[in-house]
Amino acid sequence: MLEVRELFVKYGNFTAVKGISFDVEEGEIFGLLGPNGAGKSSTLKSIMGLVNFEGEIKLLGEKIGVEERNLIGYVPEEFMLIDVLTPLEFFEFVASLRKINSQERLFRLIYAFELEKYVNKPIASLSMGTKQKVAIIAALMHDPKLLILDEPLNGLDAKSSRILKEMMKRHVEKGGAVLFSTHIMEIAEKLCDRIAVINKGEIVAMGTIEELRKKAEVEGNLEDIFLKLTGEDEYIRGVVDALSR
């Protein structure tokens, strides 16, 4: 469904993403796993056209233009909400631009995420978790084919977190695809069909958990695999030893 080829993202002299390539297939949850500043968000932003990039990005064989954006639901890491509006006004605005005629799905999402009590409050006054719910609903309201979620579980309570994870699973069962970034190993391990481990702007390994395990030659969980692949296991041991002295 999504093809990313030789992607470079530069901010002045700093290269955040260094020529990465990957595909996201229909019916799969693909995870971008990496530490803070690894280049995950820059990769997702370039897919959405939010940053300048070099390389090729295609959705269903087409370059991502205005029309293709309607096939994507995007939850950014930093809120892209309009603080002076209420969630309801914000949804109306997003729905009008997505040319949505039916309110039914939107209502279902509002009730599923228990947002009904907050729909008439200014977004600026909402807690981080509630703002995240607004961003998620805005991304899901048009039932997109591809979900791009940048650290989507940040700030969500346990119930909403579970709902979102279940929705991601159902979404891929229906033939959709999910590309999401996280630095939380347990989530990636439980949810993802395939994972790309990204570090310092480069993909250091990509595949299923089993494939990654083989590559890292580690028998542990995803955290162990990740640390081995990024070469940070020895560094961590050193730091912990120093702190314990």
Of 71 and 184, the one with the shorter C-beta distance to another protein is 71
Of 150 and 229, the one with the shorter C-beta distance to another protein is 150
Interface with another protein by CB under 8 A: which range of 16-24, 33-41, 43-51, 228-236? 43-51
CB of 149 to another protein, least distance (A): 13
Distance in angstroms (rounded) separating the CA atoms of residues 203 and 196: 6
CB of 52 to another protein, least distance (A): 11
Q: What is the 3-state secondary structure (H, E, C) of 88-147?
A: HHHHHHHHHHCCCCCCHHHHHHHHHCCCCCCCCCCHHHCCHHHHHHHHHHHHHCCCCCEE
Residue 215: phi, psi to the nearest 5? -65, -40
Distance in angstroms (rounded) separating the CA atoms of residues 19 and 49: 17
99 binds another protein (CB under 8 A): yes
Residues whose CB falls within 8 Å of the CB of residue 95, separated by 6 or more in sequence, listed in order: 106, 141, 142
**Identity of the amino acid at 24:** V
94 binds another protein (CB under 8 A): yes
Of 72 and 164, the one with the shorter C-beta distance to another protein is 72
Residues 57-86 that bind another protein (CB under 8 A): 65-70, 72, 74, 76, 80-82, 84-86
Q: Kindly state the tokens that stand for 230.
A: 């990024």
Partner residues linked to 24 by β-bridges: 2
31 binds another protein (CB under 8 A): no
Interface with another protein by CB under 8 A: which range of 29-37, 112-120, 155-163, 213-221? 112-120
CB of 13 to another protein, least distance (A): 12
Least Cα distance to 87 among 24, 134, 26, 20 occurs for 134
Of 94 and 206, the one with the shorter C-beta distance to another protein is 94
Of 36 and 244, the one with the shorter C-beta distance to another protein is 36
CB of 126 to another protein, least distance (A): 8
Partner residues linked to 54 by β-bridges: 8
Q: Which residues of this chain interact with another protein, rule CB under 8 A?
A: 48-50, 65-70, 72, 74, 76, 80-82, 84-86, 88-89, 91-101, 103, 106-107, 110, 116-122, 125, 138
